[in-house]
Amino acid sequence: MGKSVLKVKGYSASDIKKLLTANESFKIGVGLYIVYPVALGHSSRKLAEQYQVSFEQITNWMVSLSGFYNPDSFAFSLPVYRSCLLIPI
């Protein structure tokens, strides 16, 4: 007897992709969610394969995030970062 596989009911993969790209805040969240493991030391190339984005896109997000980080306030400028975070999902 084979292993059972989890299946998403009620949504196709394209439906979920549309939900993620419908709201700009979600796009920022997805970008940060991908950048976070890189900050933990994971390979950006493996993450690019996993999230189906280009390695260069992850690198661009990292550079954008670093450019808008303010170490004095432990925050970064979301409005400015948002303009640099164009996620091609």
In a domain, 34, yes or no: yes
How far apart CA 27 and CA 21 sit, in angstroms, is 6
Number of domains in the chain: 1
Nearest to 45 by CA among 62, 58, 32: 58
Q: What φ, ψ does residue 27 adopt, rounded to 5°?
A: -60, -45
**pLDDT level of residue 10 (50, 70, 90 thresholds):** very high
Look at residue 18 and tell me if it is in a domain: no
In DSSP terms, which residues pair with 59 in a beta bridge? none
Instruction: For 20-69, write each residue's pLDDT tens digit.
Output: 888 878 877 888 888 889 889 999 899 989 988 888 888 888 877 766 55
Predicted confidence at residue 68, as pLDDT, reads 58
Q: Which domain holds residue 29?
A: 23-84
The closest alpha carbon to 36, from 74, 28, 18, belongs to 28
Q: How confident is the model at residue 72 (pLDDT cuts 50, 70, 90)?
A: low
**Residue 70: per-residue pLDDT:** 53
- Compute CA 19 distance to the chain's CA centroid, rounded to the nearest angstrom: 14
The three-point CA angle 82-88-28 to 5° equals 30
Is residue 12 domain-resident?
no
Identify which has the larger pLDDT, 14 or 75.
Answer: 14
Q: Is residue 7 part of a domain?
A: no
pLDDT at 11: 92
